[in-house]
Structure 1
């Protein structure tokens, strides 16, 4: 009996290690979506992106349990996920930190170092991190200087926390969704300017491409302000959109983009205004209840960027 009791701790530790090994295996299913080219053949060159969110890392403020258990689990999870999925790129869709908005610069850097340790040998994988509300604070705590400081430490982000980049001929636009939830503040207007700039660039690219392939086809409306006219590009022809908060979806679960949203907004003439600046996002409800971007913001993004 005494001998049995002496091995109980070893059994417990072994069971804990086996359990940690099992739960760290990603439960996602790898689905291959083979696109067909014009000849009807499968396209074997797929670009795979692994997306994670809400890591809520504590950095130098992490407790003993975080460092020796949670971090160990996360490290194994990343290793096994990358080995199984073999992604071409890693995207963190916000909240890499638990409370980045109140951390000093040194403490914020400790969060990034903690994340790098978790990635281990996969640190060289193309990486993009989207800003979340835990990273930069809720509406009442938004500070342009803090956001600029945090964004400067993350790959590719500008001072507003937005980015536009291309990997393997796939275009991405990353937006600071937290700022878009807030009222008429300078930061939100700066994000809108990023959307406008990307919309014009995309339309000009579409226009030049069309002129090369068909001289008789002209996109004369593409140079106009999209605040008064819809983007001339076809739906779904724009970049891949990266956001911390998801876009609004209608109750019918229609994924038809702007068309699905127009029926939702038609009952409120004030919401149907083409100008996003005057829509007053802060009046849509308490910040804590806004788990998706408002319908008007979603419509604006669809019209401007035509995201995939």
Structure 2
């Protein structure tokens, strides 16, 4: 036996095993770094800000605002969130967001509701934990503004919504409804409160929107000299961009198309008012009060483009999370006071990442099998050496 062990050492089995181990470790590390880090740079690097027409005013070019729009992150809570599911999907969203900030350099980021999955029933401690995770994942420098719209999973559907949950949300994310920057007006609506049943929260929300409507009207040139506008702080002369969680009323997604639209079997399913979309009445009120030039919404987790009465286009922003889509994305917008242009930036597809891992596992198995196929001839050489001795 001692002679056999000496023969095995002469056949360099130990160095061969060490080389194989190094190869396996190199493959594992390379694939892991690519799938969990570098792939985000590779994919998002291809995204470009859309071009928008600019006009010169007083010898100066009109400024362009670069805005990112994403929706439905659904950070899992302590009740329905498995630790592995949290780790996988939250790492995906964190890397995608941080990579997009570094490569694209947006000036403002809007998240269109359903930040959390369990905000509608989480207790104070669970809420604090979820907020802390969100702030870590979506951290940003002072040169970037982050604006968040209320979603039904953040405060509950209308029958679950309460002033306590709304105040809790607004304490973290601000109660701002009207935001203006670089000549662009944004109106951020709590669409969960657009039930229209006269509840206290709904009445307050509608009163706030009517006041915003008055301010926007005062900014328009033809009514600036009205007695209602005396002493009023002038907003930019620009039709607003309406941001909300629920889409405005539409029958279904039957007219939606594209690779990130709803699956074909779901597109013809009728939407339920006040649950899947806003009611007809609430939609008409928003269009009448605000007269938006563009509407962006979330909630459906799928993409869609709709042209509403009066010519206002609406873009439904797909979910940002792998938990809801295999192909998440976000919208990039270049906006001026008079014009805008949008483009979509896709994140890595989850099935392609899993395929890469599967191919890596197959390569590892082939390396191991190739190593063991060489063992019989090595043993035969040692056996012949033993017989000669």
Q: Same fold (TM over 0.5)?
A: yes
Corresponding residue for 1:189? 203
Corresponding residue for 1:29? 47
Q: Which runs of 5+ in 2 are unaligned?
A: 1-12, 230-236, 256-270, 294-389
**Residues 66 and 106 in structure 2, CA contact (< 8 A), matched pair in contact too:** yes
- Is 1:200 aligned to residue 214 of structure 2? yes
Which residue of the other structure, out of 265, 276, 288, is the alignment partner of 1:303? Answer: 288
Two-structure CA RMSD over aligned residues (Å): 3.6
In structure 2, how many angstroms separate the alpha carbons of the residues matched to 1:69 and 1:201? 45
**Residues 34 and 44 in structure 1, CA contact (< 8 A), matched pair in contact too:** no
Q: Which runs of 5+ in 1 are unaligned?
A: 158-162, 212-218, 224-235, 254-283
3-state DSSP of counterpart to 1:173: strand
**Residues 35 and 43 in structure 1, CA contact (< 8 A), matched pair in contact too:** no
Within 5 Å, give how 1:95-244 maps onto structure 2: 95-122=114-141, 125-157=144-176, 163-181=177-195, 183-206=197-220, 210-211=224-225, 237-244=238-245
Give the aligned length.
250
In structure 2, how many angstroms separate the alpha carbons of the residues matched to 1:38 and 1:122? 30
- Is 1:52 aligned to residue 70 of structure 2? yes
3-state DSSP of counterpart to 1:140: coil
- Which stretch shows the higher mean deviation, 192-201 or 146-155? 146-155
Which residue of the other structure, out of 72, 76, 84, is the alignment partner of 2:103? Answer: 84
**Residues 149 and 189 in structure 2, CA contact (< 8 A), matched pair in contact too:** yes
Larger strand percent: 2
Q: Larger relative CO (CA 8 A, sep 6+): 1 or 2?
A: 2
Structure with the greater alpha carbon radius of gyration: 2
- Which stretch shows the higher mean deviation, 62-71 or 43-52? 62-71
Corresponding residue for 1:256? none
Corresponding residue for 1:292? 277
TM, length-normalised to structure 1: 0.67
3-state DSSP of counterpart to 2:116: coil
* Aligned CA distance change for structure 1 residues 300 and 36 (closer, same or farther; 3 Å): same
1:129 CA displacement: 0.7
1:47 CA displacement: 0.2
In structure 1, how many angstroms separate the alpha carbons of the residues matched to 2:240 and 2:282? 17
In structure 1, how many angstroms separate the alpha carbons of the residues matched to 2:204 and 2:32? 49
TM, length-normalised to structure 2: 0.55
